[in-house]
Each structure stands twice: as structure tokens, then as C-alpha cells.
Structure 1
Amino acid sequence: MTKKQNLFTFFGLAVIVIGALFLFKAGDRHRSAVEDAMLVPMPNTAFESALKAVETDPGKIEKVVFIKDANGTTRQVLVAFKSSVQAPLRAQVPSEESTKQMAEATKKTRLKTETELVVDTIPEEKKDALKDASIWLMVVQIAVPVLTIILLVWLSRRENRAVKSGGGYRPATSYNQGEAQKTVDKEFGQWVDPKEIKGNGFDDVAGIPEAISQMKKVKLKVVEQATIVKRVRQEEAAKKNNASSGDLMGRLQSMTKKSRFGGKLPQCVLLEGPPGTGKTLLVTALAKECDVPVFVISGSDFVEMYVGVGAKRVREMFAAARDKRPCLVFIDELDAVGRARSKGDGMAHPEAEQTLNQILVELQGLNTGNQNFGLWIFGATNRVDILDPALLRPGRFTWKIKVDPPHLQGRVAILDLHSKNRSIPLDPSVDFHAIASVLVGLTGADLENVVNETALYAEELAEAEAERLRAGGGIPESEVEGHILKTSVSQEDFFEGLLRHLMGVKATIPLTFDQIFNTVVHEAGHALAAAYEGWLGRTDDLVRFIAVEPRGRTGGLTFKTPSRDSITKTLDNVEADAVCGYGGSAAQLVFLNTRDSGVDNDFEVAASGIHRAIGRWYGSDKLGPISLGQRGLTGVTEMGNDQRNLIDSECNLKTKVLYARSWWIMNLFVRSESVWTMLWELLEHKIMRADRFAELFASAVKEVDAHSEWSKDNLNAVMENVMSDPYGWSPEPLDRETRAYLTARIEELRNRYEALQSSIASS
């Protein structure tokens, strides 16, 4: 929209607003003229209200006046009250029948009645005023709608012209030299010059060696094509003849290095992987390495509500890219515009489908033809399963590079890289291998945030120390920095950085013993269930730490990760995860005999894992090796109601069995001294590390095997009984002796905790 068009639009809107005000004023003026010209005042109530007042409250009425015209027809009735404070009621008489009703009512109530005649002649001066007001109202009533319609028609026609050209509110653009790039820059996406990209290319990418290796192969081809394109354009500029760019670009194929075995690297590459693994980083690093510009755009930038806009933007983008060769085009979140069609629910909007069709057309034959030489297209998605098959077929996004979360050595490299890039002074105690071994499953973005949170925390400690030195006095301000002992980042700082990444900053919420102990029992239940399942060999997950201090929106956390990187999960692993998830609720039920809302997310995650295992991984002998079917974009699976109900039934059955397993595991440790020691240390320190937990758990298992009737063999027997009648099972209440024992132990911890808090407060 041009500046002139903007002014016209705002002027039109202003005219409409002012016209509306004039319309209101004209109506008010006309109403006043009508009232002034009337021989009798305007009614102020309905006839029914006046009649009701006469019938129900005659004691307050002084008289009733019937106002008649020259023909003797009653036009109005006036009810006058005895009180001067109360205004009289004046009502229009709708019919002769109404006049009779009012007369009968006054006769029945014996009210005084009067008759008043009015003259039908209106004074000339009032006639003129009424005529002027009527004419003015008519003019305004016609002018305002007409002006509004004219403005709306103009806006609609201009929008239709823009839509037909496919560009929203901008005119069609001719693709002269550099013009397409200018249009793209102004409207959507961003050209990034390689000189503006920070870092040193692939040297600043770590943790994903397989993806880097693949991208380096692409780099060789991009550099080769970029060199040829630049050389041809230099020759074109030097000759300054009438030869077209296409004539000179015809030499490109002959200048390209031939493959020994005829292989040709596709110019369309799809990067797939979870969020935060480094897909965007790989493309920008490639642009830096090859010294070529990259056009960065999100898939959602293409789609608008107007049909044709997205397709036009695709054409503009490719025209700009061809004009700017050699270059890269990076479409992030490709699934936003490349979702599969023919699902019945994913491509209901024709604009989205037209945009996808235009992308398919532009990608067709990208690896052939001189007009695409030196143009490389990269797409990134974490939902490759919902992409349209036409996008993934050979000839379009032929080459797919998987970008997975880093393994152990990759995590070590990422931590080291970000620490060096930030020039973080590291304490000799820092062991990246030990830190990385805990962070299984975290992506490169997660690890970067852990390093950043660690640096921020260390800075807070140093600043707090500086404030203490300033407050103590005796040290000049210029020498404070030299006296700060916190000069490096320690292993403990990294642990706090991990806590902040996972949970947030410590919350200063005053908690009672009951509140904090409820969290302690809940998190200890998760940890005990996970560790016991690991002891039985059903999972290789290790409890890395337990935190029971409120942080952010989290009251506590039991952080567990696999002992090693793995690609798949067994059914035992999934069931063990569910038992761990139910452990918090089961521990609260056994130790405290309570239930609360804190288990909501635990149950959701556990049930989700069970549902996947049963519906996709042969998790039920009754159902067999079934599949939930292909999911559409709305999550609806292609299956019948009977099968869906059967899956739900099996999931409910498995859920109850696994909760029963978790509940019985908690019963194992009720009288374990090591578990009560664990609960106290969590109350006291709010944090328990992996080594201390492993020590206490090993001791607790020995105590259970030696002294408790709830042994491992007994647990298996109990689980068989539960399996025989799962729907009839429910958590049994503890016997009176055990409940009394638990009450006494909890009261003992309460007294110790309150004494500890008093000691801290006094110190």
C-alpha cells in the first residue's frame, strides 16, 4: 500500500466517522423539531403501564385527563399524581377499546376525570423548523451510507487486484535485476550475508559429527558451483556485450567437475530432527564456509488467508534466489507449508494447497537447467512424518540428513565449545564427561542453555561476594574486584545451571513441614520405584539427583536418564517408566494416606507411554502385533470403534497393574531405616545426588531382603494375584500397627525439621 493510498483510506474512514456524528446530530435535531411541533407532548410510558397504575394504585392519583382531537377521538391519556415529586404518566391510546378500558377503570376506582381538546393547526414557524430538520436528516441519511459504500468498494477492488497478482496489499512486481530481492526483503524472510554470520562455520558446530560430515560433502559442491557462477558473471561484466546471461550460463555444465562414477549431489536437502539439535546452525555454518548469502524464511511466512498470496511469495522467493546466485535458501519449519494432502483434515484451506503446489513446481527439476545452477534449497522439520510425499520423492527433497540429539562425546564437545566461546574460566574440578553422562537426551540448544545458566549463576555468586566486600568496608572500590575469591566456574555451578535449566530459579515460597514433606515423599517415591525397577533389570535408567525445593512452577524433580545412549526402548523399559511415574502417587498413598493434584502430569506421561506400547509395539498379548493406524493431522487414527475400545480396555488394565506394582514397591520400604534417612536428608538439604541415593537405596534393598515380608519373590506372587483380577484390586489400607508406626516416624521428622528451622533462624 502506497503512502497516497494510505492517506486516501484514512481520509475515507475519517469522513465516515464524521458522517456518523452528523447523522446522530441530525437525528437529534429532527426529534427536537418534531416534539416542538407537536400539539401535545410526547408519551413517556406505555398505555398498559398507565392503565395498571389506575387499577392498582388509585390512592396516589389526583385525576385522569383524556386528551381528544377535534373529531372527538382520544389520542392520549394523562395520569396526574397527588405528589408533586412524581411526574405524570402520559400514554398514547392505541384504540377505542383502550379508551373504554381506561374509562371503566377510572369509574371503578372513582377517580376524577377531565377532558382536554387539542387544536390540529401547527404554527408556521414550527412547520418551517420541522421541514428544515427533515431535509437535513434526509441528506445525511443518504450521504453517509453512499460514502461508506464507495470507500468499501474501492478497498475491495484494490484488494482483489492485489490478490489476483498474489501479493496481498502490494502491487505486482516485475523481476528486473535485483527487483525480486528487494520485494522479498521488504515483505517476508531475510537475506543473511555470510559476513554477518557469527562464528567460524563448521568449527563452531559440535556434537553432531554425522550431520556435519554430510554437510561438508554439500559444501564441496556449493563452493564449486559458486566459483563457476562468479567467474561467469565476471566474464559477462568484462565483455559488456549483448550476450544474455543465459548464453554465458550455458557454459556452466561443461565447467562442472564430473563425478568418477556419475553420481550427482542433489541441490535439495532436508534436515530432520528434534527441536534444538542444530538444523538452522548447520545451514548458516554452510553459508559461512562457502561465503554465499542465505535466504532464511519460516514455512508459516508463506501462508495467508487470501488465496494466491502464498504461491506468489514462493515465486518471488525463487526468483530472488535465482537472481542472487550463488546462494542458499533455508525454509525452516517446512511442515507448516508442506503438510500432506488428501488426509481430509490437513489441507482444508485452498491457500495452503496452492502454496504447496507452487513449491513442488519450483523444486521440480532443480538439479537440472542452467537457471538453477548455484541455487541450493534446504528444508528443516521435526515432523517429517506429516510431510507430503510429493515433497520427499526423488528429484525434490531427495537427500535427507538426520540431526539427532548428541551422544556422550558429542555432549562433551558441545559443553566444551560453548564454554570456550563464552571465555568461561573453568575450575580444575570441572569434568565435562561426568556432566555429559548425566545429560542423556538433551539437545545442543539445551546444553547451550545449561552453560549459559551456569555462567549467570557464577556471576551472581561473584557479584554477591563483591557486595559483601563493599558492605564490610576497608577495601577501596577500585580494589574490590581483586579481592573476589570467585574467579572460576566449578562443577557445583554446572549442577546449579542444570537445575535452573530443568526447573528454574529457586522460589522464595515459605512452606510448612506438611507441604515440604509431601514433596519429599512424592519425589522419593519416583526415585525408589525407578531404582527398584532398575535393580530388577527392567530398565537401565539411573536416578541422577532428587530436588525438593520449589523452582519456577515445579515443586520438585526426580531427574533420571539412561545409563547409556540408546536408540530403542523395550516393553520392560516402558513399563518401568510408568511404574516410576506412578511412584510419587503410590508413596503419598502409602506413607501419608493422601492424594493430590501433583500427580497429574505423572499420570499423563505414564498413560501415554502405555498407550504407545500397546497400540504400536506389541505390548498386549491379547491384541497381538497391531498398529494404531496412520494418524491424520488432527490425531484421529484410522481404526474402528471396536478396536479403539479394545485398546483402551487393555491400556486401562495395564495402567492398573503397573500402579499396583508401584504401590507394592512402596510397601517394601515402609520400615527401611535407610529410606527414612533418605527422607530426612531431603528435608535437610533439599537436594540428593546420585551417589548418595545409590548408597541409601542399596542399603534399603538389603534391609528389605533381610527383614521384610515384602520380598522380591513375594512381590512377584502378589503381582500374579493382581493380574488374575486387576479390576477387582484396590490399594489395601495399611494395618493399624503400620499406620501408627508411620505416624510416629513422621512426627519425629517434624520435630527435627522444626528444630533445624529454628536453629537456622536464630543464626
Structure 2
Amino acid sequence: MPTSDPTTDRHPLSGSPASSTSDGQRQSSTPPPTPPPARRWRLWHFIVALGIFAILFFGPGAVTAAQTESLTYSAFLADVQTHKVSAVAVGANGQITGTLTGGTRFATLAPTWALTTDDLANRLENAGVQVSAEPATDTLRQLIDSLLPTLLLIGAFVWFSRRAERSLGSGGGLGGLLRGKPARVTEAERPRTRFDDVAGYDGVKEEVRELVDFLQHPERYRRVGARGPRGVLLVGPPGTGKTLLARAVAGEAEVPFYAVTGSSFVEMFVGLGASRVRDLFADARRNGPAIIFIDEIDAIGGRRGVTGFGGHDEREQTLNQLLAEMDGFTEGGSVVVLANTNRPEILDPALLRPGRFDRQVQVPLPVLAERAQILGVHTRDKVLTGHVDLMDVARGTPGFSGADLANLVNEAALRAARDGRGELRPADFEDARERLILGRRDGAALLPEERLRVAVHEAGHALVAALSPTADPVAKITILPTGLALGATHQLPTDERRLYTEQYLRESLAVRLAGRAAELLVFGEPSTGAADDLAGATDLALRMVRDYGFSKDLGPVAYPTAVSAAGSAEGGNRPYAEATQRQVDLEVARVLRAAEDQADLLLERHRASLDRLSERLLQDETVDGAVVYDIVRHPPTRVA
């Protein structure tokens, strides 16, 4: 049962990629001689070499082991007793090898106690067996056996390093494999994004257009001793098209465009992020004039000393390298850094100073006219019926970003596709907007008494909104459950508001509390359905008292609470005393009671209209706003 927040001014953009290279020099008619192809190791070469080594090293031993019979020590003593053993060789570690009378070789292992007594020696001597002693294990063989696994690992390490070097196309061996390629260069022939692809934002485009002119005509600025911006930071809420603007800048300037995300610089290996920054700027300078675009720079540009593990933190080293590279441009340098973020407050001050990021361009949420232009961009390839008015759609989407509007158009297209239609209708956009704001429509049916209470509740919202002079007009009312809401009253502003008067905010509070007031008037008690209305009204009243100075008791004093790093609007340290907090709480309660009294008065005076609108909602479930105003203008006659 929520209503629109009159103080929330969310707003959007849209678009696609960019970049280019200059003409190359003329080449000689005789092509240079082709260098001989480099020797390349193949995987099967390595496997064959390993197999030959294993055969030569382990082959003789394997053949000998296959021709030798293994005997237990008891069986060996039995053969000695029956004169089947002709010769033996005793090793230092109890290994006994020898030859039987038939010529068969055998091997056995004697226990330690048998070698420390004369019993075995006496048995062999009595049986006439020729006895000899084996020398100790060959030191060289033992050394090779111990070093062989290490040598194999080193060989595999070198082989993979060479393959990585060839696959990356640059030196550095395994270091190159770890470093990788952090940036993607978009060539001049590929970009298609231009400023015309970015709907609205004329002021923002004018700000960055000077950057394009500097990259295309640097001599014009050198002639008067002007230096172009070294860095431009795009700041704005998510989804407003900051990345799209950067692509449009590169597309208009037709220069190489190095696009990289801030998170790609940070790795678990210390120093790799800094080396990636050095490589990126070195490539850009070689191909200048060029643009380096760092998406979400707050991943590496956060304040030093606040996060991380001190001076040896990888993120901090990467930031230090970025600061050095940006401040190291020569006069008239032809490399410009573009970056975007939606959290400028956490960036390091050294990154924002002139000489690094000389400009901060604000990319706000789009206003009404810009939203209509953005919708026009996203509906270019779609068929719209003649009844679709993009300005009306834009009027119903205050606070939507460009990404939100793109999602709105896509949801409308999905709805049309589900119905088997090839064109989009106004109902498709209305349904898509409700789905994005309220959630998916719930198919569960309400109980009869619940439907009646929801109808009275929503009729109260709509009636007070229609009777309030400065409230936003009512567009539609529904008692169909959608998401967590059991019903909804939609208000659409006629114009884009930037300032809100005290009367407008007080009437907005009355509209929010009108649903609960209608339940009290008709049923004599409220329900839990007004929970969201109460939360929104309390938040608005708190801002009116604490931030906007709309309290006569507190006077023209504002106590704005800074937003914490976690995103909470309530910080741990209040900028006022506990006694002031008590006074703020009393004023908030007084403002809310006054709004509730205003809603009660309007509903009591128009009780017949409330009943008629509730009955219409129970009958049709969804009612257009024009019906509400018709009931207000022609109220039904109450029967005594």
C-alpha cells in the first residue's frame, strides 16, 4: 500500500564502445626478409623425451626385476637345507640375492637378528653355498634418485614458462603469465558510440566535449599556453551512463581507448598491480594521443591508511603507482585518464587534486525530459502502438536511471512477447513499471474481509490525494496483491520538482496516513497493512523537523546526519545533545498527529465518496485516477 515519496528525487541515461588510431607511415615497397621461424616445443616432444629417459634409467632394473624370483626368508632357508642354492650375495641392509642350482635368480630379505648371529653363516657353509658380500649402494645412483623429481619439476616449470611467454606475446616468462593483460584496446575502426547515442545530459556532454577537442586539436591549446585536463572523474549514481559517456568521448575523439576495471589491478601477488599500471601507461604513451578509462576507480583509489594492512598492502602500492604515473605526464601530454565512481567520498585526496583529476563531472539521475529521450533511444528497434506516449511513461518513472529505463522497456517487451504480440502497448509499460517498483504480481487470493479492508485503505489514500491541492495527481488504484504490497495507489507528478514547500510535504504526510485513517473510520481499528505507510511518513517527518527546519519549536536549525561508510543515514555520533533528540522526537510525533488529523477531517467530510470508491475497487479491482476525480466532483448522496 505504498505511495510515492515526494522528497525522493531519483533520476537516468543510455548508449555503447569507442576509439581509433591515426594514419600510418608509408612503408618500403620491398618487404623485409621473413625471420626464420622460432623453434617451438610441442607437448608430444616433451612426452617422448620423458619416455626415453624413463626407459634408459629404469629399463635395466625393470628387466632384472622381471627375471628374479622373490622368496620369503623361510623358503630361502628351506632351499639352503635341501642344497638348492648355489651362490648368494649378502647386502649391508639384509638383502640377499643369489642363484639357485637350476640357474634361476632369487631375492629375499633377511631379518636383522639373522645377520647378527652365526646361524645363517653356519647353514650356508654346511650346505656348500658360495657366499659373497654386495658393496654399499652407489652414491651417484642414490643422488640421481633423490634429485630426479626435482629435475622433472624444474623442467616442467621452464616449459610452461616458455609457453606462457609465447601465448602472451611479450617477454617476462612466468611473470608475464601472472601479470596478464589488464587493458583492452579498442581500435579506431570499431567504435560506434557517439554523443548522439547518449540521450539527454547536454550539460555533461558539453563538459567532456572540450576534452575531445583537446585530443583532436592539441596545437590550438598549446598556442595560447593552455594545458588540457590530465584526468576527468565522472561521478554519479549507478546506472546513469558514466561508462557510456567515456566510450562516446573516445568515439568522438577517434583515439586509442584503453578500458580497464579498477579491480583488475589488485592481485594476491604483491607488486603485480603496480607493474600493470606501469605497463598500461607505457602502452598509452607509445600510442598517444590516447584515453585510459578506469571503471570503478574506487577499487584502487580508496583513502590510504583507512583500509588494508598498511604501507605494504597491494592495493596501496597500486594506488601509489597510479598517482606517480598521473603526475608524471610531460607538458602537453597526449594521454588523458577518464574514470568513474559512485562513491567519490572514499577516494584518496591525493588522487583528486589538480594535476591528476583536474575535473569532476557530475552525472545525475535524468530529469523528466531526459527520461523521455532515453526511452526513445531504447525503443528505436521496437514497434509501439499509437497510444504509447513516452512522455507519460517518463512521468511515471521519477528517480529511474538510464539502466532502470532500459530494464523497463525490456520488461514491457517481454510482456508483449508472452502475449504473442509484436507491438508494445501502454499497458505493457504500466505492468513493467509495477513489476519493477512493487515486484511480481501475487496470484494468491485475499480473504473477503481482507479485500474489503484493502479497498478501504487504498480508497483513503486516493481520496485524500485527490482532495489535497498540492498533492501529486492520482493515476491508478489497485487492490491486486503485487510483491509484498496488498494494494497500491499510484501518483504521477505533472512536472519535475526540485523544491518542495512545507504545504506539499504536510499534504504528502496526510496522503500516507490516509489509509490508516480510513480503516479507523470504517472499522474502528487499524491493521498491520499500514506498516510501510507509517515508516515512510515517520522518515519524512523526521527530515522535515531535523533537516529542513520546518518546526516552530526547534526554529531554523538543521541537524543533518552524515551518511556512514556502511550506507546508514544514522551515524553513531549525533551533532546535538540528548535533550535536543527528545525535542526532535516530540516534534516528529506532533507533525504526524497533525497530518493524521488532516486526513481524518477530509475523510469524515467525504465519507460517502470513500464508500463509493471502496465499492468500485471491490468490483473492478483496478480503477483509473479519472474515476477518483469524478467521484470527488460528483459525490454520491448519503441516505440518512
Q: CA RMSD in A?
A: 4.4
The alpha-carbon distance between structure 1 residues 642 and 305, as it changes in their structure 2 partners (threshold 3 A), is: same
- State the partner residue of 2:489: 558
- State the partner residue of 1:230: none
Residue from 212, 216, 226 that aligns with 2:205: 212
- State the partner residue of 2:548: 617
* C-alpha contact (below 8 Å) 2:179/2:276 kept by paired residues: no
Question: What does the per-residue CA deviation read over 1:405-435, in whole Å, with 9 as the maximum and x for residues that have no partner?
Answer: 2223222222222111x2x222222222233
Instruction: Determine the C-alpha separation between the residues in 1 that align with 2:624 and 2:178.
Output: 54
Say yes or no: does 1:541 pair with 2:472: yes
Secondary structure of 2:404 counterpart: helix
- State the partner residue of 1:492: 427
1:579 CA drift (Å): 4.0
**How is 1:181-330 mapped onto 2 (pairs within 5 angstroms)?**
186=180, 188=182, 190-193=184-187, 199-224=192-217, 256-258=219-221, 262-303=225-266, 308=271, 310-330=273-293
1:206 CA drift (Å): 0.5
- State the partner residue of 1:111: none
The one-letter amino acid paired with 1:503 is: L
Instruction: Determine the C-alpha separation between the residues in 1 that align with 2:343 and 2:251.
Output: 27
- State the partner residue of 1:70: none
Residue from 628, 633, 636 that aligns with 1:693: 628
Residue from 370, 373, 377 that aligns with 1:410: 370
Instruction: Determine the C-alpha separation between the residues in 2 that align with 1:685 and 1:363.
Output: 64
The one-letter amino acid paired with 1:689 is: D
Question: What does the per-residue CA deviation read over 1:177-219, in whole Å, with 9 as the maximum and x for residues that have no partner?
Answer: 999998799465644456555x542222102222122233222
Consecutive unaligned residues of structure 1, counting only runs of 5 or more, are: 5-126, 129-150, 159-169, 226-255, 464-485, 708-740, 742-763
Consecutive unaligned residues of structure 2, counting only runs of 5 or more, are: 1-42, 44-111, 114-149, 158-163
**How is 1:443-462 mapped onto 2 (pairs within 5 angstroms)?**
443-461=401-419
- State the partner residue of 2:388: 430
Normalising by structure 2, report the TM-score: 0.63
The alpha-carbon distance between structure 1 residues 448 and 641, as it changes in their structure 2 partners (threshold 3 A), is: closer
* C-alpha contact (below 8 Å) 2:376/2:390 kept by paired residues: yes
1:376 CA drift (Å): 2.0
Question: What does the per-residue CA deviation read over 1:636-672, in whole Å, with 9 as the maximum and x for residues that have no partner?
Answer: 9889668253454244223322332343244231452
Question: What does the per-residue CA deviation read over 1:330-374, in whole Å, with 9 as the maximum and x for residues that have no partner?
Answer: 2233334334457xx6667653544433333332254x347xx33
Residue from 344, 347, 366 that aligns with 1:387: 347
Say yes or no: does 1:442 pair with 2:400: yes
Instruction: Determine the C-alpha separation between the residues in 2 that align with 1:181 and 1:287.
Output: 31
Instruction: Determine the C-alpha separation between the residues in 2 that align with 1:187 and 1:695.
Output: 66
Higher relative contact order, structure no. (Cα contacts within 8 Å, ≥ 6 residues apart) = 2
Secondary structure of 1:559 counterpart: strand
1:556 CA drift (Å): 3.1
* C-alpha contact (below 8 Å) 2:259/2:294 kept by paired residues: yes
Instruction: Determine the C-alpha separation between the residues in 2 that align with 1:639 and 1:590.
Output: 40
1:512 CA drift (Å): 1.9
Instruction: Determine the C-alpha separation between the residues in 2 that align with 1:213 and 1:491.
Output: 34
The alpha-carbon distance between structure 1 residues 363 and 652, as it changes in their structure 2 partners (threshold 3 A), is: same
Instruction: Determine the C-alpha separation between the residues in 1 that align with 2:183 and 2:524.
Output: 58
The structure whose residues are more often helix, as a share, is 1
Secondary structure of 1:269 counterpart: strand
Instruction: Determine the C-alpha separation between the residues in 1 that align with 2:418 and 2:373.
Output: 26
Residue from 604, 615, 633 that aligns with 2:565: 633
Instruction: Determine the C-alpha separation between the residues in 1 that align with 2:359 and 2:576.
Output: 38
* C-alpha contact (below 8 Å) 1:629/1:639 kept by paired residues: no
1:282 CA drift (Å): 1.0
Secondary structure of 1:541 counterpart: coil
Instruction: Determine the C-alpha separation between the residues in 1 that align with 2:530 and 2:300.
Output: 37
**How is 1:678-717 mapped onto 2 (pairs within 5 angstroms)?**
678-698=613-633
Instruction: Determine the C-alpha separation between the residues in 2 that align with 1:348 and 1:178.
Output: 28
Secondary structure of 2:340 counterpart: strand
* C-alpha contact (below 8 Å) 1:180/1:319 kept by paired residues: no
The one-letter amino acid paired with 2:590 is: V
The alpha-carbon distance between structure 1 residues 183 and 407, as it changes in their structure 2 partners (threshold 3 A), is: farther
The one-letter amino acid paired with 2:487 is: G
The alpha-carbon distance between structure 1 residues 498 and 179, as it changes in their structure 2 partners (threshold 3 A), is: farther
Instruction: Determine the C-alpha separation between the residues in 2 that align with 1:180 and 1:409.
Output: 54
Secondary structure of 1:378 counterpart: strand
The alpha-carbon distance between structure 1 residues 588 and 281, as it changes in their structure 2 partners (threshold 3 A), is: farther
- State the partner residue of 2:50: none
Instruction: Determine the C-alpha separation between the residues in 1 that align with 2:597 and 2:232.
Output: 52
Instruction: Determine the C-alpha separation between the residues in 1 that align with 2:632 and 2:292.
Output: 54
Aligned length: 479
Instruction: Determine the C-alpha separation between the residues in 2 that align with 1:186 and 1:530.
Output: 60
Secondary structure of 2:623 counterpart: strand
Instruction: Determine the C-alpha separation between the residues in 1 that align with 2:543 and 2:302.
Output: 23
1:548 CA drift (Å): 2.8
Secondary structure of 1:657 counterpart: helix
**How is 1:628-667 mapped onto 2 (pairs within 5 angstroms)?**
628=560, 632-634=564-566, 643=576, 645-667=578-600
Percent of matched pairs sharing the same residue:
30
**How is 1:463-612 mapped onto 2 (pairs within 5 angstroms)?**
463=420, 486=421, 488-532=423-467, 534-535=468-469, 537=470, 541-612=472-543
Instruction: Determine the C-alpha separation between the residues in 2 that align with 1:525 and 1:544.
Output: 15
1:271 CA drift (Å): 1.2
* C-alpha contact (below 8 Å) 1:180/1:320 kept by paired residues: no
* C-alpha contact (below 8 Å) 1:522/1:583 kept by paired residues: yes
1:517 CA drift (Å): 3.3
The alpha-carbon distance between structure 1 residues 311 and 186, as it changes in their structure 2 partners (threshold 3 A), is: closer
Say yes or no: does 1:375 pair with 2:335: yes
- State the partner residue of 1:165: none
The alpha-carbon distance between structure 1 residues 601 and 271, as it changes in their structure 2 partners (threshold 3 A), is: farther
The one-letter amino acid paired with 2:610 is: V
**How is 1:13-32 mapped onto 2 (pairs within 5 angstroms)?**
none
The alpha-carbon distance between structure 1 residues 553 and 667, as it changes in their structure 2 partners (threshold 3 A), is: closer
The one-letter amino acid paired with 1:454 is: A
Secondary structure of 2:357 counterpart: coil
